[in-house]
């Protein structure tokens, strides 16, 4: 409850997002060494050199994406599965891809234990997306990309939204990309964040 109140003070207004974060046991997505800090608004390391994002970052991205019940959402970077769970709590049909195999396998077990069977997790290259399940209503990228991946844009429905941090290895600008008819896009830039880099070409 304190975490939700803190996020509200920081400008998160979407009640669905706040309700999801208030419902999900974040400590179960983290390493035991950090359990006492689970409900602080901070990022923490997880397996394979990755991180569980700061709750504000999760809430910020989800608020921009604004997922709705029944929408197909592609998530790039499953990580711990915490963001996946927030999306699932909105009623969205979540398809998530992770390039680190040990992390993918560990997170799948965690999501099953928490009864998030509806989240479809895949092991693969996030830059390539999941063409077999496209098109998607919305796409959420949870790692820093050097540019907007055109393959992912091609898997987005017309009228759909992609939320993606774009920039250098050290700092990215949160960006929304709205796909218009005729292949045009509307790109809007928001605040700066720091994410682990989006890595392509091969999975690990």
Q: What is the mean pLDDT of each run of 10 residues along the chain (204 residues)?
A: 95 96 94 84 90 95 96 97 97 96 96 97 95 97 94 96 94 96 92 86 50
The whole-model pTM stands at 0.94
- Residue 203's pLDDT is what? 45
- Quick one: DSSP state of residue 99? S
CA–CA distance, 147 with 165 (Å, rounded to integer): 9
Residues taking part in catalysis: 53
Q: What beta strand segments (E) does 24-171 contain?
A: 44-45, 51-52, 72-76, 93-98, 120-123, 136-141, 156-167
Give the pLDDT score at 35: 81
Tokens of 48: 């394979």
Interatomic CA distance for residues 60 and 89, integer angstroms: 16
pLDDT at 200: 66
């Amino acid at each position: 409850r304190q975490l939700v109140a803190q996020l509200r003070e920081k400008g998160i207004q979407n009640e669905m997002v706040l309700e999801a974060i208030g419902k999900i046991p974040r400590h179960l997505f983290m390493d035991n060494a950090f359990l006492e800090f689970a409900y602080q608004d901070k990022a923490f390391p997880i397996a394979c050199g990755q991180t569980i994002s700061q709750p504000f970052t999760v809430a910020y991205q989800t608020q921009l994406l604004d997922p709705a019940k029944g929408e197909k959402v592609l998530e790039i970077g499953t990580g711990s599965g915490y963001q996946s769970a927030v999306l699932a709590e909105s009623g969205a049909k979540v398809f998530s891809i992770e390039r680190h195999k040990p992390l993918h396998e560990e997170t799948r077990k965690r999501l099953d234990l928490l009864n998030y069977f509806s989240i479809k997790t895949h092991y693969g290259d996030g830059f390539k997306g999941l063409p077999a399940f496209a098109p998607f209503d919305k796409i959420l990228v949870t790692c820093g990309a050097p540019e907007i991946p055109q393959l992912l844009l091609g898997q987005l429905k017309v009228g759909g939204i992609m939320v993606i941090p774009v920039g250098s290895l050290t700092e990215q600008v949160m960006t929304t990309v709205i796909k218009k008819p005729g292949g045009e896009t509307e790109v809007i830039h928001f605040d700066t964040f720091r994410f682990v880099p989006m890595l392509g070409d091969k999975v690990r």
